Amino acid sequence: MGVGFVLRHETGALNEELEPPSLQTHTSNLIHKTFSTPTEPRPQMRVLRGGKPRFTNSLLSVAFRKRFFPEATRSDWDDWRWQLRHRIRDVHTLQAMLQLSEEEQAAIGRHNGTLPLSITPYYASLLDRSNPSQPLRRSVVPVSAEQTRTEGEEEDPLGEDHTSPVPGLVHRYPDRVLFLATDFCSTYCRYCTRSRMVGDAQTQHCNVSHWERAIAYIEATPAIRDVLISGGDPLTLSDERLEWLLSRLRRISHVEMLRIGTKVPAVLPQRITPALTRMLKRYHPLWMSLHFTHPDELTPETAQACTRLADAGIPLGSQTVLLAGINDQVDTMKRLVHGLVKMRVRPYYLYQCDPIIGSAHFRTPVTKGLEIIQGLRGHTTGYAVPNYVIDAPGGGGKIPLLPEYVIGREGSDLLLRNYEGKTYRYPDYCK
Ligand code: SF4
């Protein structure tokens, strides 16, 4: 811990200790055999002899482990480091698990550069073996379309590199910064906004000297009251490294709150260990933004991970990217937001997909997002309705989008449309 810790790792990549090193029934059926709705009943913590809490396993993941990792024990499977060491990263291993389409095979074979193939065994257990159109499979298995550049697409569509005062830190808004703590993720989403940098084995975009410079910048900038630690996925860092970073940031008197952005509860829920949550509790106020894509991610394992985080007093919000053919239906989004609320995760942002290179097959028209918000607002709990935003290309920040609820004026009356399409008047004048 502390400075000594940094010196020991000065020359290494932040994730080097991970040494990122191989079903047939559809996901939902097996998940729901044991767990009819994602969080009902709330997962019970089983305790092994010897007092170590045991992680929940769905029938789906148990069947997958026995078939594809017969040598792995239940403890291996529940160990997040084992999951990282056994990530699926090549076409041959994936082919043994899924019937790959020609398009998928060609895309993986031709891949060269950032955003490699990487899927944790746990997340692979949720993929449909025979259907390349299954939403979860589309979100993590490459296809040829991601190698086609369409008009308007950019490597860095949000202009993050232009608002970066020091490497690994983005300072776009007055009072907060984005701290890119690592360029590593356990599982790579094919639509990743930071596809230009994540998973790049050649270039270290985030190393310890970057951390030091970023911390020095924050220390010297009293306007910064909020630090969002993201990446890559910061929860792939060891407890010790993450605690070192949190403690350094917490020592800066003007930093009022810390946030962590992560997809770990969806792709590597085993990472949310009691030791991690005990450590995180020491750095309140600490908030978390959890990245979810589809209701099929809301498994018993994910429910347990969210329960542990929420029980540690961490306010949880979700972020979801709107993706064509994956989650762009009102019913799908409703199932996702309802499942999240039951896991004590507040649906926070629904993002219009950023125009990164090769994203045309993922992007929907903006009208689709508005239609989804219109299908949620008023029709379900307000807490379950996320803010639909476009992160403005070029670095303009998040711009909220709302269906049209103000339809005009008559004299001093404001004419409003409610969720059922009925018109109401509000006397919009004061004495
Ligand atoms: S988890 Fe986040 S940073 Fe990692 S690949 Fe997915 S979207 Fe990108």
User: Is 122 noted as a catalytic residue in this protein?
Assistant: no
Alpha helices by DSSP H, listed for 40-145, are 59-68, 74-77, 80-85, 91-97, 102-110, 121-124, 135-140
Single-letter amino acid code for the residue at 50? G
Decide: 5 and 17 in contact? Cβ < 8 Å.
no
At 6 the pLDDT is 31
For residues 139 and 141, what is the distance between their CA atoms, to the nearest angstrom?
Answer: 6
194 touches ligand 1 (CB under 6 Å): yes
At 411 the pLDDT is 94
Percent of the chain with pLDDT over 70: 87
Specify whether the backbone of 415 is left (phi greater than 0), alpha (psi in -120 to 50) or beta: beta
Compute the average pLDDT of residues 135-163.
Answer: 92
Count how many residues are written for the chain: 431
For residues 398 and 64, what is the distance between their CA atoms, to the nearest angstrom?
Answer: 40
**Ligand 1 atom showing the smallest separation from residue 194 Cα:** 8
139 falls within a domain: no
Same-domain check for residues 230 and 299:
yes
| CA-based R_g, the chain, Å | 22
Distance 237 CA to ligand 1 centre (A): 14
Q: Which residue has the tokens 């019970």?
A: 44
108 touches ligand 1 (CB under 6 Å): no
- What distance lies between CA 169 and its chain's CA centroid? 19
pLDDT tens digits along 97-147? 999 999 999 999 887 777 899 999 999 999 999 999 999 999 999 999 998
Distance 185 CA to ligand 1 centre (A): 6
Q: Which domain holds residue 415?
A: 402-431
User: What does pLDDT average to over the chain?
Assistant: 88
4 falls within a domain: no
Where does the pLDDT of residue 27 fall: very low under 50, low under 70, confident under 90, or very high at 90 and above? very low
Compute the average pLDDT of residues 14-21.
Answer: 36
77 falls within a domain: yes
For residues 180 and 234, what is the distance between their CA atoms, to the nearest angstrom?
Answer: 8
Residue with CA at minimum distance from ligand 1 atom 5: 188
**Ligand 1 atom showing the smallest separation from residue 263 Cα:** 1
Asked if the model's pLDDT at residue 48 lies above 70, the reply is no
Same-domain check for residues 366 and 251:
yes
Same-domain check for residues 419 and 356:
no
3-state secondary structure of 13: strand
Same-domain check for residues 222 and 360:
yes
Domain count, the chain: 3
Residue with CA at minimum distance from ligand 1 atom 8: 192
For residues 56 and 42, what is the distance between their CA atoms, to the nearest angstrom?
Answer: 11
For residues 64 and 124, what is the distance between their CA atoms, to the nearest angstrom?
Answer: 9
198 touches ligand 1 (CB under 6 Å): yes
Specify whether the backbone of 113 is left (phi greater than 0), alpha (psi in -120 to 50) or beta: left
pLDDT tens digits along 220-278? 999 999 999 998 999 999 999 999 999 999 999 999 999 999 999 999 999 999 999 99
Same-domain check for residues 205 and 78:
no
Same-domain check for residues 248 and 353:
yes
User: Is 342 noted as a catalytic residue in this protein?
Assistant: no
Where does the pLDDT of residue 183 fall: very low under 50, low under 70, confident under 90, or very high at 90 and above? very high
Q: Which residue has the tokens 């994730």?
A: 15
At 54 the pLDDT is 83
Same-domain check for residues 124 and 182:
no
At 162 the pLDDT is 87
232 touches ligand 1 (CB under 6 Å): yes
Where does the pLDDT of residue 394 fall: very low under 50, low under 70, confident under 90, or very high at 90 and above? confident
pLDDT tens digits along 304-332? 999 999 999 999 999 999 999 999 999 99
Single-letter amino acid code for the residue at 303? A
Specify whether the backbone of 387 is left (phi greater than 0), alpha (psi in -120 to 50) or beta: beta
Active-site choice (172, 248, 259, 334): 172
Residue with CA at minimum distance from ligand 1 atom 7: 192
22 falls within a domain: yes
At CA 4, angle to CA 20 and CA 185, rounded to 5? Answer: 20
263 touches ligand 1 (CB under 6 Å): yes
Most confident segment among 35-39, 41-45, 147-151, 293-297: 293-297
70 falls within a domain: yes
Same-domain check for residues 112 and 214:
no
3-state secondary structure of 208: helix
**Ligand 1 atom showing the smallest separation from residue 261 Cα:** 2
3-state secondary structure of 7: helix
272 touches ligand 1 (CB under 6 Å): no
Same-domain check for residues 48 and 170:
no
8 falls within a domain: no
Asked if the model's pLDDT at residue 78 lies above 60, the reply is yes
Name every residue whose Cβ is closer than 8 Å to that of residue 5 and which is 6 or more positions away in sequence.
240, 241, 244
Most confident segment among 26-40, 74-88, 389-403: 74-88
The token pair that represents 230 in the structure block: 């993201």
pLDDT tens digits along 204-225? 667 788 999 999 999 999 999 9
CA-based diameter of the chain, in Å? 77
Single-letter amino acid code for the residue at 233? D
The token pair that represents 92 in the structure block: 């041959």
At 46 the pLDDT is 57
At 59 the pLDDT is 95
Distance 227 CA to ligand 1 centre (A): 18
pLDDT tens digits along 3-13? 333 323 322 33
DSSP per-residue codes, 351-379: EPPP-BTT-TTT---HHHHHHHHHHHBTT
Q: For helices 330-342 and 366-376, what crossing angle results, to 10°?
A: 50
237 touches ligand 1 (CB under 6 Å): no
363 touches ligand 1 (CB under 6 Å): no
244 touches ligand 1 (CB under 6 Å): no
For residues 25 and 319, what is the distance between their CA atoms, to the nearest angstrom?
Answer: 28
Same-domain check for residues 168 and 237:
yes
Active-site choice (156, 183, 192, 271): 192
88 falls within a domain: yes
Indicate if the alpha-carbon torsion angle 154, 160, 164, 169 is positive or negative.
Answer: negative
At 364 the pLDDT is 98
Q: Of 339, 295, 320, 288, which is closest to residue 389 (Cα–Cα)?
A: 320
Asked if the model's pLDDT at residue 290 lies above 70, the reply is yes
User: Is 173 noted as a catalytic residue in this protein?
Assistant: yes
The token pair that represents 270 in the structure block: 């085993």
For residues 79 and 84, what is the distance between their CA atoms, to the nearest angstrom?
Answer: 9
Indicate if the alpha-carbon torsion angle 90, 92, 97, 99 is positive or negative.
Answer: positive
Same-domain check for residues 377 and 425:
no
At 348 the pLDDT is 98
The token pair that represents 177 in the structure block: 């910064």
Residue with CA at minimum distance from ligand 1 atom 6: 189
208 falls within a domain: yes
For residues 239 and 245, what is the distance between their CA atoms, to the nearest angstrom?
Answer: 10
Distance 291 CA to ligand 1 centre (A): 8
Q: Of 116, 87, 137, which is closest to residue 268 (Cα–Cα)?
A: 87
For residues 200 and 13, what is the distance between their CA atoms, to the nearest angstrom?
Answer: 11
Pocket test for ligand 1, best of 15, 195, 233 (most atoms within 8 A of CB): 233
pTM of the model: 0.88
Q: What is the dihedral of CA 124, 128, 134, 139, to 10 degrees?
A: 10
Same-domain check for residues 185 and 108:
no
Decide: 263 and 257 in contact? Cβ < 8 Å.
no
CATH of the domain at 290: 3.20.20.70
At 42 the pLDDT is 47
Single-letter amino acid code for the residue at 369? G
Where does the pLDDT of residue 36 fall: very low under 50, low under 70, confident under 90, or very high at 90 and above? very low
